[in-house]
Amino acid sequence: MSHSPPTEEHDAAHRSVEFKCSVREFENLLQENLRVAYTVALRLCGSRDDAEDLLQEAAVQAFKNFGAYTSGTNFRAWFLKVLTNIFLNQRRRKQREPATTPIEDATDLYMYSMAKRAGCKPGGGDPAATLLERVSTAQIAEAIDSLPEEFSLAAWLYFVDELPYAEIAEILGCPVGTVRSRLHRGRKLLQKQLWELAEPHMASGSKARKRE
Amino acid sequence: MLPIINLYTCNEALDRLQDYLDHELSDREALLVKRHLKICHECSKKFAFEGQLVSFVRGRVQEEALPEGLMERLSVRLAQADD
């Protein structure tokens, strides 16, 4: 196959075709991962409007830097990294301090132990669901948000996207061991908060049962 | 030849609870945890509870409905960025 010498016009046309293909490819890749990306954005931002703004900004930046994405690698992790970085930069620019919870370590198996101590039998059926059924999704989201930032970011990626530790590490730019310890500690802190949300319902539920 | 005894204690199994639930253990370690859970009812209950808790939270925070027309709006922004 012979190649004619490239002209300026040819080069421009060629670049344009390549770029158009990349746009289409980009949109296809984005479409495949849109639900997860939007849910992560929503959980990070807390409102639908802010989530869409974040997603749009991430889409534009990722598209402009699409050359940095290696075809065939994990697009979702790459895109979520772009999205998470924009979120963190915006937050820092606004100098809004992330919500924090004083870090008082909870014990392992906190909810299990507390439920058992409170007289629940966390053995049969789906006791976790029974304990938390009256806690709203918004309350659960708030509980995750209120964790210190390094824990809440990892927790959102873990809960929303079920990513393996290695991918979370790639997105957050930290070692896998750091992700493991953040998730471990974050999970304990979260259990403490969830228990505080679940406990009042548990008490009112048992009173109601006694009255019946 | 004597069989190699490979059983985790409760503490050894519980130390691996999170990694086990998240499929982050090596095959060998996961097998040893499984063996322990088969013979230890108390640990089995704890592992089940923790697994259900994660599933419950995931069930609540995942699968958010997409706003109508989101992809179309994104396409418009991308087209603008392309100009």
B80 lies in some domain: no
A102 lies in some domain: no
B42 lies in some domain: yes
Is the domain of A125 the same as that of A167?
yes
Interface of B with A (CB under 8 A): 14, 17-19, 22-24, 45-46, 49-50, 52-58, 60-64, 66-67, 70-71, 73-75, 77-78, 81-82
pLDDT at A16 over 60: no
Is the domain of A115 the same as that of A206?
yes
A28 lies in some domain: yes
What's the CATH number where A126 sits? Answer: 1.10.10.10
- Give A168's contacts (C-beta < 8 A, 6+ positions apart): A154, A157, A158, A179, A183
Question: CA A160, CA A148: separation in Å to the nearest integer?
Answer: 18
* The total number of structural domains that make up chain A: 2
Is the domain of A207 the same as that of A114?
yes
| Whole-number pLDDT of residue A182 | 93
Contact: A128, B64; criterion CB under 8 Å? no
> Using alpha carbons only, how large is chain A's radius of gyration in Å?
23
| Whole-number pLDDT of residue A11 | 45
* The total number of structural domains that make up chain B: 1
Tokens for A132?
A: 């938390």
Q: Is A47 on the interface with B (CB under 8 A)?
A: no
A26 lies in some domain: yes
User: Coil, strand or helix: which one is A106?
Assistant: coil
What's the CATH number where A41 sits? Answer: 1.10.1740.10
B7 lies in some domain: yes
Q: What is the ipTM of this complex?
A: 0.84
Mean pLDDT for the stretch of residues A76-89: 93
Instruction: Look at phi and psi of residue B5 and say left if phi exceeds 0, alpha if psi is from -120 to 50, else beta.
Output: beta
B28 lies in some domain: yes
- Range with lowest mean pLDDT among A88-97, A155-164, A189-198: A88-97
Is the domain of A19 the same as that of A80?
yes
pLDDT at A72 over 60: yes
Q: Which domain does A33 fall in, by range?
A: 8-93
Question: CA A1, CA A3: separation in Å to the nearest integer?
Answer: 7
Q: What is the mean pLDDT of chain A?
A: 80
- Range with lowest mean pLDDT among A2-16, A38-52, A131-145, B25-39: A2-16
Is the domain of A12 the same as that of A80?
yes
Q: Which domain does B53 fall in, by range?
A: 1-63
Question: CA A165, CA A161: separation in Å to the nearest integer?
Answer: 11
